[in-house]
A and B are shown apart, each in its own frame.
Chain A
Amino acid sequence: MTAAKPKAWLARLLLALLMTVTLLPFLSMFTAALAPSGSYPNGLSWPDDPQWNNFVKAFEAANMGQLLLSSTLIVLGVVPISVLAATMAGYGLAKLTGGRNKWIYLVFVAGLTLPFEAVITPLYYEVRAFGLLNTRFAIILPLIGLYMPFSVYWMRAHFLNVPNDLTEAAQLDGATRWKEFWLVQVPLARPAIMSLTILLFLWTWNQFLLPVVLVRDPSLRTMAGALGAFQGQWGTDVPLLCAGSLLILAPTVLLFLVFQRHFVAALLQGSVKG
């Protein structure tokens, strides 16, 4: 008991420290967002005259309403298809391929090692060749492809853990592969599907590089991609940039609050299954 107490305090101190380190940038962004537009606020100083309407200005300057819609469309284009394809592929790789075809899975693993930034230039020419430059498809289609290695890996890991007896029981019960997949495997995979959905949503929402490179019209980009709007020809409006960033963060924070339980599960799953 007496030995545990100092340890507990030490743990709390560490947690508090970590929390401060994590929160400081946000606090700094928040105070900076309240500084007069066009100024260069420094550090953590609370402005004398907080400019709350910076948020309104940022919302209007970056055309946030339009961007919110655009981001939503992109997320809706990317996430359901990715999750569906990854679930089917994961099941196929875990349960239906064996022996000589096991190597197929390694192709996806190879995809995992590919850094995003390395493919951006070839991607640009490819998207241009398809004539999709400057459309939302320029973001949606590459993202689906880029997410596949991780997503398939994730779902395969789940399906590997489902006992084969269940598959066999379903087969003997008269299920075709397709019915077994939808009626037995998918309901059981719900936690894995849920966490994958959340992760893909976050990554899509925060996608910055791809929209900036492949789409010139900011109203077709994701919200994060719209941050470029605050980098003018003659400099950057720091307070508006900060206010805009906070606005962009808001939906993910809201989502987190709603799906908190699943988020934690998603992260734990990652830690176990690697």
Chain B
Amino acid sequence: MAGLKLQDVRKNFGAVEVIKGVDLEVEHGEFVVFVGPSGCGKSTLLRMVAGLEETTSGRIEIGGRLVNNVEPRDRGVAMVFQSYALYPHMSVYDNVGFGLKLAGTPRDERDAKIRAAARVLQMEHLLDRKPAQLSGGQRQRVAIGRAIVREPDVFLFDEPLSNLDAALRVDMRMELARLHTDLGATMIYVTHDQVEAMTLADKIVVLQGGIVQQVGSPLELYNRPANLFVAGFIGSPKMNFIEVTVDGTTNDGVRVANSLLASPALVGQRQGMAPSDTLTLGVRPHALQLDDTGPIGGAVTLVERLGNETIVRVRLDAATEITAALAGQREIALGEPVRLGFEPVDAHLFAADGRRL
């Protein structure tokens, strides 16, 4: 078991740089999630750690050992693929035991390890089957089992749940979290699904365009997003953004205004801005509440009743709509005018370059 260290890691495909200098430290036993939109380089970065992609420059260390030029099989990593990548001609038993067989593990020991992994993953009854006879969730379990028996230093998961249906995905997510607790192993997990990232991670790495946008715990990212991208990416529904200008400061924070706002809004932040600066105001849908004197007003264009909460879309002008997630079941009709407000501490301000102030 070991940690992982990336130092100014870069990757070029021909003339195109896809990973633009990533620095990252992962402690032993941490569950780290790489998250970002498609094409952000998260899978490439994972494959570089696995050794399946060459590293153009920079250092990759696993357990304190430089592995840039080490073959994938000698890096002490195991990987679970999105496609599962099970060997179709082998039974589940042989699939799980393939790595051990190659390593020359004695038969008894191999058998014990395979059965132990099967027990952990509750798939003992599947050992004699071929992959084609398994459901998607079962296949993913086998793929995870194949990784477990090798007792790697680092587990790598490449979007392992994205081929599963929604209900199964939630189940497997919980199982993965349990597995991480049980094994106490270092795990790196790639996903484009921020909910998976929030629920599984000790530490989230948000990537975009081959650059790390922010590294932090799920709540750090949620509460203090480093920039507009992270603010928009983490959290569901997405954070609302409204362009505003600084109107003045008070003891409680800064007052911002905009022709879209029914009245100036107060944000609990005072540093890094000057009067009449143009900033972006960010408010999470869950921070908005119905408030007759609130700064945001408009007509309701969409109501989604989820039972525990009611999601409403409110149109401020022809081009701007915001989303509010109101607790409980609300009687709101389409077209009805509403006013929304928020606590000053729940709002964020971003500079023109996207940085959070």
Contacts and interface: CB of A to CB of B under 8 A. Distances in A.
B72 A171 contact: yes
B52 A171 contact: yes
B89 A172 contact: no
A179 B104 CA distance: 13
B79 A172 contact: yes
Contacts, number: 57
Interface residues of B, number: 21
Interface in B48-91: 50, 52, 71-73, 77-79, 81, 83, 85-89
Contacts of A179: 102
A163 interface: yes
Contact of A175 (B77, B88, B89, B102): B102
B89 A169 contact: no
B83 A172 contact: no
Contact of A168 (B52, B86, B102, B103): B52
A187 B130 CA distance: 14
Nearest to A171: B72
Contacts of A176: 73
B356 interface: no
A169 B81 contact: yes
B77 A173 contact: no
Given A174-B103, A179-B102, A169 B79 contact: yes
B85 A166 contact: yes
B102 A165 contact: no
Interface in B130-154: 146, 150
B99 interface: yes
B85 A169 contact: yes
Contacts of A187: 89
B98 interface: yes
Interface in A159-193: 163, 165-166, 168-176, 179, 183-184, 187-188, 190
B87 A172 contact: no
Given A171-B72, A172-B78, A174-B103, 8 more contacts: A168-B52, A169-B81, A173-B73, A173-B98, A175-B98, A179-B102, A183-B102, A184-B87
